[in-house]
Chain A
Amino acid sequence: MSKADKAWDPGNPDRLYIVTKGCEDSNKAMVRLDLVTLIVARTETDPGLQPEHGTIVRMCDYPLSVAEISAYLTLPVSTVTVLLTDLLTRGLVEARPPARVAALPDVCLLEAVMHGLQNL
Chain B
Amino acid sequence: MVGTGSSSQVRRPASSLIWLVPPVVLAVCTATAALLVPTQVRIPTVWCGTVATVAVAITSSEAVRRGRVISGLRRRCAEQEAMYRELLAQQQEETERLAGVLLPTAVKMLEQGASAEEVLREVAPPASGAAFAAEHRSVLRSVVEAVQAEEGLRDSAHRAFVNIARRVQAIVHQQATDLREMEGRHGNNPDFFGDLLHLDHGTALIGRLADSIAVLGGSRPGRQWKNPVPLYNVLRGAMSRIMDYRRVDLHSVVDVAVTGPGVEPVIHAAAELLDNATRYSPPETRVHLTAVEIQSGVAIEIEDAGVGLTEEARRRAESVLEMGGRGFDLDDLGETPRLGLAVVSRLARTYQFRISLRPSAYGGVRAVLIIPSRLITASATPGGEIARAATLPPPKARKKPGRPLPEPPPLEATAVESRTAGGLPQRRRRSLGMAARAAVVAPADSTRSQRPASEPAQPGMWLDAFTSALKGDDPKPGHGQVSDDTSDKKE
Contact = CB atoms under 8 A, between A and B. Distances in A.
Nearest to A21: B246
A110 interface: yes
A71 B466 contact: yes
Interface residues of A, number: 58
Contacts of A78: 187-190, 193-194
A117 B448 CA distance: 32
Nearest to A75: B387
B184 A5 contact: yes
Interface stretch (B22-30, B81-89, B147-155, B391-399): B391-399
B230 to A, nearest CB: 9
- Give the residue among B232, B239, B388 with the most A Cβ atoms within 10 A: B388
Contacts of A101: 459
A15 B486 CA distance: 32
Q: Is the interface of A mostly helix, strand, loop or mixed?
A: helix
Q: 10 smallest A-B Cβ distances: which pairs?
A: A76-B187, A13-B237, A78-B193, A15-B240, A71-B470, A51-B384, A17-B197, A22-B246, A74-B387, A18-B240
Interface of B: 176-177, 180-181, 183-190, 193-194, 197-198, 200-201, 204, 225-227, 229, 232-234, 236-237, 239-240, 245-246, 263, 267, 383-388, 390-394, 396, 398-400, 424, 426-427, 457, 459, 463, 466-467, 470-473, 478, 482, 486, 489
Interface of A: 1-5, 7-22, 24-25, 27, 30, 35-36, 47, 51-52, 54-55, 58-59, 61-65, 67-68, 70-79, 81, 99, 101, 107, 110, 114, 118
Contact of A73 (B189, B234, B386, B489): B386
Contact of B187 (A19, A55, A70, A107): A70
Given A73-B392, A99-B489, A27 B190 contact: yes
Given A8-B387, A71-B466, 15 more contacts: A4-B471, A8-B180, A11-B229, A13-B236, A14-B233, A17-B245, A24-B193, A62-B399, A68-B466, A73-B388, A74-B391, A75-B387, A77-B188, A78-B187, A78-B189
A81 B263 CA distance: 30
